[in-house]
Amino acid sequence: MMCELNMDYETVFKLAEPYLKKNDFGMPHTRRVFDIAKQNFEVPKKLEELVFCSIIMHDIGGSSIEKQYKDGPAIAASILQKLGYKESFVQEVCQIVRTHHEHPDNPSLAFKILYDSDKLVMFSPEEFPYYNSQPGFDWNKIVELIYHEHARALAKRLLQQRRTEKTN
């Protein structure tokens, strides 16, 4: 059973902010991923806290994948424990945090929503230029990694949109 704290996610964001603001895209990246998940996925009620807490915590360990995997889970655990989440829930979040760049064939729905939102954010006006300026960056590869078909379709539309804006 998941514990339902009916958490106000602003409280979670507040405790995460000191860590997230040190990252490359900072706290706004996490906010964007959070909003993308909210707007584009139907999150079952019983998965809501797992999805949204995992999203707020996913990059909490730092900017590199190595740091996110190594330091992220302990930081996430300390914040979630402070908020009163029970240990089994905390461990579920930590498991997602320490694997969120992997691409398993059949991950949990919570994993897939975070993963896809973290890919869709790359097509946002704020983040697109950063990736697009890397020589030979393959956007199609990113699209193919997305698990949900509707999210893949959205990524393709956003890619078109960004490219059109660019040449205008």
Interacting residues toward Fe ion by CB under 5 A:
59, 118
Q: How far is the CB of 117 from Fe ion (least distance, A)?
A: 8
Looking at the Cβ atoms of 57 and 154, the one nearer to Fe ion is: 57
Rounded CA-CA distance 57/72 in Å is 7
Nearest to 139 by CA among 122, 118, 121: 122
Cβ proximity of 72 and 61 under 8 Å? yes
Looking at the Cβ atoms of 72 and 77, the one nearer to Fe ion is: 72
Q: How far is the CB of 54 from Fe ion (least distance, A)?
A: 11
Looking at the Cβ atoms of 59 and 116, the one nearer to Fe ion is: 59
Q: Is 102 left (phi over 0), alpha (psi -120 to 50) or beta?
A: beta
Q: How far is the CB of 32 from Fe ion (least distance, A)?
A: 9
